[in-house]
Structure 1
Amino acid sequence: MSRATSVLYDAPGPLARRRERIGSVVGGLLVLALVGVGAWYAAGRGVFEADRWAVLWDPPKNQSALDVWRSLLVVGLGATLRAAAVAAPLALLLGLVLAVLRTTRLAPVRVAASVVIELFRGLPVLLMMFFALLAFGWSAFAAVIFGLTVYNMAVIAEIVRAGLAALPKGQSEAAAAIGLSRGQTLRLVLLPQALRTMAPSLVAQLVVLLKDSSLGFIVGYSELLKAIQNNAQYFGNASVVALFTVGAGIYLVVNISLSRLALRLQGRTRRTAAPAVDVTAPGPAPRGATTGH
């Protein structure tokens, strides 16, 4: 436990640890009970009958299981990942630019950036997709990219701005004292620290972006949810539970994998990167200087 943590919080004693263990056991039993009740209810409605899941290995209507899995994993998931792969870098880049513009000393630029951030942060993603589709006449793919980008860039801009605001003011003052310009201070001192601090929040927002891509099926984009819906309509209501369960599992695997990968890369970067230079820290004493009181 760090010194700061030990000052703010007392270490739990034997009684507190015993209560935590009891609470964990009771909470786990409650969760298991809820899962059991749900499974019992689902079994009573025939959810676990083999014919409800046969679409995954022996689909009807002269279709092969390979076709079903290909439509889900290659066509559907591929379209979802393609939209996220385009929208995520755009949202990160534009969000970073907006965050920098919002912290500038030029009042008109700062106000304009604030208006853009508040506007797109307050509008639903689906509304932006429909706007691009109907007003601009763009394709479904372009409409999905537009909606995901403009909403998430506004949220990312606020995340980065909060990270910059949380840094000690002495960082900027000391950077100015050693002759760094405003741009150099942001690029060399402030932004690297803010991005490292805000990395978990940025990763979480990118996971949200990936999940929001499922809204694309409403505007006609053939992503994973649309592929599930098409298969369910083709094979009938008996296949709905199996197809949507598989879809939920795919979303969970992808999102959890991305989160774990990002956190692992973040930890590796922290271990391998050189320690950040604190411009407010005192430098070494000049040669020949003496210390005294």
Structure 2
Amino acid sequence: MSEVAKLSRKYGLICGAGREPLTIAKILSKQHVSVFIIKLYGEADADYSEFEHIELKIGQLEKISKYLADAGCTEIVLSGKIRNLSLFKINPDFSALKILAQHIKLGDNVLLESVSKFFEEEGFIVVPQDKIRPRECLPAGYVLGSIPEGRIADDIQIGISYLAQSSQFDIGQAVIVQSGRFIAIEAIEGTDAMIKRASGMINPDNSPAIFIKMAKLNQSLELDLPVFGLETIKILQASNIKIACLHAENCKLSVGLNDIESAAMQAGISLYAVDYEG
């Protein structure tokens, strides 16, 4: 694609929490693609000052669509986590209320798919994040540390089995297991907050606590892929969790694998790729 063609395009980037949206914005900018940022109020927490941007509430879908159209955007990307869908805080318009009604019945996956469909019906092309920043995950069979066996292998399987069963309820993506017991199950607070919550409940005299994060079986991976990064490694280390298991090929690394490996080794954390089968 020529530089003129690139500059004639404009991406709308709807940004939730985390640094992934900012990373995507910078990648597009380096490719000389113009970017217009919608910061979701109370969610977006990165610094977008170098980009054209506006802040709106997530429930203002019709207003978001208008701003994107007025800015000349033809393609949009949904990126970042949404942590709070309280009706009192998101100020939902009629379109958002219809989507929220489905979300209450069917869960987060339907919410994302419904929001994506809304923007497609408004005339935008919804571009998966992976098209801009290809996912890098732990490959199948990946091991950093000794091969799990005994109690550790059993606890890993307990966590995987739970996440497989809980997928039908479309809730959290992570658990912490120690000595056959669940120390924490991720809910609306998010992964890092769950780990912090669990830190005071881990028994140093038992077998190691194990962190397991996996995509849900029914998850729309184009729109909502689990992410694991350097900040989570720091929190695992501070919480005395020395084993982390990530869904093979389905848990996106926020930085390159070499950086993740280096940080994990410095923190004394073993890393394993796991799957629902085998």
TM-score category by the smaller chain?
under 0.3
Task: Provide the TM-score with structure 1 as the length reference.
Answer: 0.24
Whose helix fraction is larger, Structure 1's or Structure 2's? 1
Larger relative contact order (CA 8 Å, sep ≥ 6): 1
Task: Provide the TM-score with structure 2 as the length reference.
Answer: 0.25
